[in-house]
Amino acid sequence: MNKSLRSWHIHQHVLTIVCDNASANDVMIDKLADNDWARFNSSSKGRVRCFAHILNLVTGVSITE
C-alpha cells in the first residue's frame, strides 16, 4: 500500500484508512507506521473501523440468537 500511495503521489493526502477488523489490516497499519507514516504510529490511530461491517456483525449475531 505504501508503494502504491507514493507512486500515485497521494500519500500526503491520506488521513485515515477504513477497513474491517481483519488482523491483516492491523499488520498493514503497523507496516505503514514503520515507513515513517507518523499518523499510523499505533493501530488505533489512522485507522477507522468500518461501521457497516461492525453493524453487519452485530445484526448477524442478533438474527441467530
Q: What is the pLDDT of residue 45?
A: 62
Q: How sure is the predictor about 37, in pLDDT bands with cuts at 50, 70 and 90?
A: confident
Structural domain boundaries in the chain: 2-64
pTM of the predicted structure, to 2 decimals: 0.55
Burial of 17 (0-12, 13-18, 19+ CB in 10 A): middle
Evaluate if residue 41 carries a pLDDT over 80: no
Query: What is the rounded CA–CA span in Å between residue 41 and residue 24?
Result: 16
Specify the higher pLDDT residue, 44 or 1: 1
